[in-house]
Structure 1
Amino acid sequence: MLLMKHLLLLSHYYKTVVLMKSLNEMCPDITRIYSIGKSYMGLKLYVIEISDNPGKHELGEPEFRYVAGMHGNELLNLMEYICQEYKCGNQRIVHLVKEISIHLLPSMNPDGYEMAYKKGSELAGWSLGRYSYEGIDMNHNFADLNTVMWDAIKLETDKSKLINHYFPIPEHYTSEDVASETRAVISWMQTIPFVLSANLHGGELVVTYPFDMTKDWAPREHTPTPDESFFRWLATVYASTNHVMSNPD
């Protein structure tokens, strides 16, 4: 009871850290906790890796990245579920842990969440939490490589050479307009060879997946990536198993 009362006095960030550490103690053989950097206010961006050999990149084993907390906290239940079900011998979870290295970042924007948490949802704290302490919307803070590509097309005579999957991140993208949290995630992506990633957002009921070579914000422009069929399959599987999304009414 004393521990529970103590946890109730802690901020949401420290509650998350306590939960991650308790899961690491519960499943030490398949988990490790590491930090990819710090928020603007100095809070560490903790990741929990779940794998049969955490901390080791195994040849042929895909690395998967799941991020939440741009404005949501949806990964806490997932990491707890995986740990508990693995210990119970759930064969589907055991297979995932043995065949995939799963990296979960439950809060990319801990500063924003703390501000929203203190204000309270009844006072529109949910919208306040969308922004970092600096007031940056990290949802729209990553590099716009499509604009770089279309600018390059104007100068390139051989259009067949232009494939935007290989454009490097512009050097100016380390300016003050880029959040420290965003830079930490970019560095994380460059360090670990993730083959697939997803980002959870609270507030809407929609599945989105990557578009390719979009010239403007035209909502009806269909610009599929080479992995279009795979992304559509993933989106359909997710939506069809979500009872609310799959409800025709």
Structure 2
Amino acid sequence: MVRGYMSNTELETAVHAFGSRCSNISRVYSIGKSVNHFPLWVIEISDKPRQRESEPAFKFIGNVHGDEPVGREVLMHLANCLCDNYLKDSLATLIIENMHLHILPIMNPDGFALRWRGNANNIDLNRDFPDQFFPVNNDIDYRQPETRAIMNWVKQEHFTASASLHGGALVANYPWDGTRDTSKHYYGCPDDKTFQHMASVYSRSHYNMSLSKEFEGGITNGAFWYPIYGGMQDWNYIHGGCFELTLEISDTKWPKADELPIIWEHNRMSMLNLLASLIKIARTGLLSKLRFQWPIPSYIGH
């Protein structure tokens, strides 16, 4: 199954090789380690890496589920695309000079090595975050190390927005992911319109996501699709003031390796346009204004 995909060690080498090749616009750092002590490497891309600026910060996270590895490959393509096109392409240059982009290609290296969904403890990391409706899940001492690493990272970097990459469907998903009564229905967060806009930017820029027959416009409210609890998306929004999307970018969870270049091309403009749209929104002051409203009450919704 891993044939044609980078192993964890090969991915680690690729991350550091990128850091060396593109050192003028990047830094490489670790936010922690997995259960089996594999470092969680991040690439920061900016014209002023390591510096704090009044610019939006965005994070991409891949391979949250071990058996959905497309994100790790696509995110390395994105990093190299930006590096190769800096000062040559206006869109790449806009992104690099007006935001701090942080890329974590793999959140769940142990699950990938084991070729299963959860981490080494077989815990689904996208059900492991504190949840607004079930506070029994809120003791940080019971979090998995990968989950704690993300939580600490979010609180340290103060991301404006983010997206995690998954496989198994083709849709841009936005909060809320769960409902108070656990039933399946549309349950919008206070910034529902902003999330719909972000999701639509991704979907409309994609090769065929917006043409979906299952999801109108290629986007969906998470609770309307199917409710989940302990998800990373809602936690980012509530506790980090971070506008996070969950992007399902491949109909197949683990596609054949020769399909990866096509999947990258189908998602390339979606990723670039999502980042560019965040810069535009941030310039209006809307997101920075909303950041002062956290934490939001858990009862808000519709």
Q: Same fold (TM over 0.5)?
A: yes
Structure 2 partner of 1:75:
75
Deviation of 1:247 after TM superposition, in Å, equals 2.9
- Distance (whole Å) between structure 1 residues aligned to residue 45 and residue 39 of structure 2: 19
Q: Aligned to 1:55, what secondary structure does the other structure show?
A: coil
CA change 1:227–1:197 in 2 (3 A) is same
Aligned partners of 1:47 and 1:105 also within 8 Å? yes
Structure 2 partner of 1:229:
193
Q: Deviations over 1:215-240 (max 9, x none)?
A: 032212x3322211111011111111
Structure 1 partner of 2:154:
189
Structure 2 partner of 1:107:
106
Deviation of 1:180 after TM superposition, in Å, equals 0.7
Q: Aligned to 1:208, what secondary structure does the other structure show?
A: strand
Q: Deviations over 1:22-81 (max 9, x none)?
A: 2112211101000000001010000000011111111x2111111111132231211111
Q: What RMSD over aligned residues (CA atoms) do the two structures have, in Å?
A: 2.2
Q: Which has the larger radius of gyration?
A: 1
Q: How does 1:49-128 map to 2 (within 5 A)?
A: 49-58=44-53, 60-71=54-65, 72=69, 73=72, 74-86=74-86, 89-116=88-115, 128=116
Deviation of 1:212 after TM superposition, in Å, equals 7.8
CA change 1:242–1:25 in 2 (3 A) is same
- Distance (whole Å) between structure 2 residues aligned to residue 40 and residue 248 of structure 1: 37
Query: 4+ residue runs of structure 1 moved beyond 6 angstroms?
Result: none
Q: Which amino acid aligns with 1:183?
A: R
Deviation of 1:214 after TM superposition, in Å, equals 2.5
Q: How does 1:206-221 map to 2 (within 5 A)?
A: 206-211=171-176, 214-220=179-185
Structure 2 unaligned spans of 5+: 214-302
Structure 1 partner of 2:169:
204
- Distance (whole Å) between structure 2 residues aligned to residue 115 and residue 243 of structure 1: 32
| Equivalent residue in structure 2 for 1:136, among 103, 119, 123 | 123
CA change 1:213–1:44 in 2 (3 A) is closer
Q: Which amino acid aligns with 1:196?
A: A
- Distance (whole Å) between structure 1 residues aligned to residue 58 and residue 91 of structure 2: 16
Structure 1 partner of 2:207:
243
Q: Percent identity?
A: 33
Q: Which amino acid aligns with 2:27?
A: R
Structure 1 partner of 2:140:
173
Q: Deviations over 1:163-182 (max 9, x none)?
A: xxxxxx94x2222xx21111
Deviation of 1:246 after TM superposition, in Å, equals 2.5
- Distance (whole Å) between structure 1 residues aligned to residue 202 and residue 112 of structure 2: 26
Q: How many residues align?
A: 204
Deviation of 1:114 after TM superposition, in Å, equals 1.2
- Distance (whole Å) between structure 1 residues aligned to residue 102 and residue 128 of structure 2: 21
TM-score normalised by the chain length of structure 1: 0.76
The answer to whether 1:18 aligns with 2:13 is yes
- Shifted more, 91-100 versus 201-210: the winner is 201-210
Q: Aligned to 2:16, what secondary structure does the other structure show?
A: helix
- Distance (whole Å) between structure 2 residues aligned to residue 76 and residue 238 of structure 1: 18
CA change 1:75–1:215 in 2 (3 A) is same
- Shifted more, 65-74 versus 180-189: the winner is 65-74
- Distance (whole Å) between structure 1 residues aligned to residue 126 and residue 108 of structure 2: 10
Q: Which amino acid aligns with 1:63?
A: A
- Distance (whole Å) between structure 1 residues aligned to residue 179 and residue 211 of structure 2: 31
Q: Which amino acid aligns with 1:76?
A: M
Q: Aligned to 2:129, what secondary structure does the other structure show?
A: coil
Q: Which amino acid aligns with 2:61?
A: V
